[in-house]
Amino acid sequence: MRICTYISQDLGNPSAALHVIALVEKVLDQLKSNPCMYEICRDPSFAQKRYRKAVIQNHVMIYSVENSRKEVIILRIFHGSRNYTQFL
């Protein structure tokens, strides 16, 4: 994950990067059994695509669920201060 490289190397905080990885892994484990547990994005264009948003501490993970293939597709993880609608 680029975000962890940024936290670890650019910000010089490897322990925080490991913490983010652990939090993301926890969410991914939860999604295995309940892929629709997080809300559909409120932005109309994202809602139309059925994108979902998981808030992970200071970050937002945007993902979609492919029910036909039983897949969760992680689209991107952003810092919560960013306007993620500009990047997808």
pTM for the complete prediction? 0.85
pLDDT range class, residue 72, cuts 50, 70, 90? very high
Number of domains in the chain: 1
What's the pLDDT at 70?
82
Instruction: Give the rounded percent of residues in the chain with a pLDDT score beyond 90.
Output: 57
Residue 24 CB contacts under 8 Å (≥ 6 apart), including other chains: 1, 56, 59, 61, 77
Mean pLDDT of 32-39: 95
pLDDT digits (tens, 9 = 90+) for 15-30: 888 898 899 999 999 9
Domain span at 35? 2-86
pLDDT at 1: 65
Q: What is the CATH classification number for the domain harbouring 49? A: 3.30.2310.20
